Amino acid sequence: DIQMTQSPSTLSASVGDRVTITCRASQSISRWLAWYQQKPGKAPKLLIYKASSLESGVPSRFSGSGSGTEFTLTISSLQPDDFANYHCQQYNSYPVTFGQGTKVEIK
Amino acid sequence: EVQLVQSGAEVKKPGESLKISCKGSGYSFTSYWIGWVRQMPGKGLEWMGIIYPGDSDTRYSPSFQGQVTISADKSISTAYLQWSSLKASDTAMYYCARPRSLGTGTSPFDPWGQGTLVTVSS
């Protein structure tokens, strides 16, 4: 299985901050990486696919980059609605795997 | 509108069996895979497996192979996740989700069902 490691596990930030979350794969996954946002009690929501493609309707303050084994999700200016959990997912091969998640909390 | 609607919350005892469901609507049910994802309390997402209702081709994560059964009934556009003997450690939220791309199981999930909470306690 491909292991996905996210860092940090928790991130404390303020409204307006630039925030970066990293996801590392245990082997190359090309650009087959997605990012999801999840709020308490809700299903995950797809934000980015193919490492950097923004899903329709997702604000442009979200961006993704990377290829191979290292990827980042950046929120350019954190908004109150962005305090949530974020998960990366590799879909290069079966079994599909997720990172352990990053909680973005209010500083 | 593409929608996945899951069955309601369940409370079961250890050793009991359970089958939860996920009904798809608004798209060709037999043309897209449907996957299942576990989220234990306070934890991350775990990909359990996926099925192609068109021909019932199924793939499991090694972590869940033999522990659960994934099936689908294309006549009623519904996928299932089944346990034959529940354990307390099966207590979790279970989501079904559809890959965004036609005909492939290795594609990001969008949309997702609302989740089914399974509680196993004596």
What is residue B59's predicted lDDT score, i.e. its pLDDT?
Answer: 97
Burial of A63 (0-12, 13-18, 19+ CB in 10 A): middle
3 state DSSP class of A15: coil
Contact A95 B46 (CB under 8 A): no
Contact list, B45 vs chain A (CB under 8 Å): 36, 38, 44, 87, 89, 98, 101
Which is nearest to A99 in space by CA: A107, A87, A81, A82?
A87
Burial of A50 (0-12, 13-18, 19+ CB in 10 A): middle
Is residue A9 left, alpha or beta, with left meaning phi > 0 and alpha meaning psi from -120 to 50?
Answer: alpha
Which residue in chain B has the smallest CA separation from A88?
A: B45
Cβ contacts below 8 Å, chain A against chain B, sum to 65
Contact A93/B at CB under 8 A: yes
Contact B105 A44 (CB under 8 A): no
What is residue B58's predicted lDDT score, i.e. its pLDDT?
Answer: 98
Query: Which helix H or strand E contains B52, and what residues bound it?
Result: strand B45-52
What is residue A63's predicted lDDT score, i.e. its pLDDT?
Answer: 98
Contact between residue B78 and residue B22 where contact means Cβ atoms under 8 Å apart: yes
What is the average pLDDT across A82-103? 97
Contact B47 A46 (CB under 8 A): no
Contact between residue B96 and residue B22 where contact means Cβ atoms under 8 Å apart: yes
Contact A91/B at CB under 8 A: yes
Contact A87 B105 (CB under 8 A): no
What is residue B87's predicted lDDT score, i.e. its pLDDT?
Answer: 98
In terms of DSSP bridges, do strands A4-7 and A19-25 run parallel, antiparallel, or are they unpaired? antiparallel
Question: Tens digits of per-residue pLDDT, B30-44?
Answer: 999 999 999 999 999
What is residue B69's predicted lDDT score, i.e. its pLDDT?
Answer: 98
What is the average pLDDT across A84-97? 97
What is residue A19's predicted lDDT score, i.e. its pLDDT?
Answer: 97
Distance in Å, alpha carbon of A74 to nearest chain B alpha carbon: 19
C-alpha separations of B55 from B50, B60, B73 in Å = 12, 16, 10
What is the average pLDDT across A48-58? 97
Specify the DSSP class assigned to residue A80: G
- How does residue A3 score in pLDDT terms, banded at 50, 70 and 90? very high
Contact B35 A96 (CB under 8 A): yes
Query: Which helix H or strand E contains A53, and what residues bound it?
Result: strand A53-54
Contact B61 A99 (CB under 8 A): no
Weakly modelled stretches of chain B, pLDDT under 50? none
Contact A32 B106 (CB under 8 A): yes
